[in-house]
Amino acid sequence: MKWKLKQLFWLTILLLLMSQGVLAEDPVGDVGYNWDELFKPSAVWAEITAYTAAFDAWGSGSKRVGEFSAGEQVEIVRDHNYQWYLVKAADGREGWIPVDKLSIPEDPETNPELVPAEILEAYVNAHGFTSKTDQLVWVDIDRQLTHVFVGQMGSWQLLRTMVCATGKNTAPTLRGLHEIADRGEWFFAERFGQGAENWVQFSGPYLFHSLPMDRQRTIVDYTLGKRSSSGCVRLSMEDSRWFYGFIKRGSTVFVN
């Protein structure tokens, strides 16, 4: 009975998506999907509040590479200590600018709409993601979920889905394709006054890690399921331990 109820639930979801034009009539084929509607890219767009020069790096001593005018809309690519931002315009111009030249919108609500495994697999397989290992990680910022797949290009299968917390709009998680690198059991960031266990690096300072802790390793924030970190991907204690022990170095990480 439970199995039938679960199947009925997902059938209802699929019919709803089809009625909204998100899916074609074939729910597991890759033909007819409106991927950008179903899995919206979570770029953070901000407004330039006053004319500003743009630089090749943050802070003093950097080289001027361009400029932005008041009223321009730019995508926030990454931040540095909430004080400097690498931004990119629709025409490709990019550079680092100070925070006082930006108006950053409030964090959006998390998309509560769940998607069945068949469609998640269809998405990653249709996009031809590759990995140096037999593992693939997908961070869906819109839904605040991290999916782990096993297999290979064209035949990825979903293994585990975890609720996460990605970066706030003022410190967004770096989007794009990355790769699992180093890892460790514990770190403490003096500038934030917090640390975490089970960290796994995927791009420079951007990590997967446990719930944040103080110096005594006491959890200080249990928030998951909404944008609330300083750019890293936060996982529950249980999920971070599993991720730390399971994910192989070199695995592809897709953040959208």
Read off the pLDDT of residues 202-254 as tens digits, 9 standing for 90 and up.
Answer: 999 999 999 999 999 999 999 999 999 999 999 999 999 999 999 999 999 99
Asked whether residue 71 is domain-assigned, the answer is yes
What's the whole-number mean pLDDT along residues 2-31? 45
Confidence of residue 77 (pLDDT cuts 50, 70, 90): very high
By three-state DSSP, how is residue 151 classified? coil
- Would you say how long the chain is, in residues? 256
- d(CA 50, CA 101) in angstroms, rounded, equals 6
Indicate the average pLDDT of the chain: 91
Do residues 182 and 78 share a domain? no
Do residues 140 and 226 share a domain? yes
**Looking at residue 2, what is its pLDDT?**
41
Fill in the amino acid letter for 138. Answer: W
Dihedral, 25, 26, 28, 33 alpha carbons, nearest 10: -60
Do residues 92 and 21 share a domain? no
Report the domain count for the chain: 3
**Looking at residue 18, what is its pLDDT?**
47
Instruction: Provide the domain limits for residue 13.
Output: 2-38
> Which CATH number do you get for residue 206?
2.40.440.10
Q: List, for residues 136-145, the tens digit of each pLDDT value.
A: 999 999 999 9
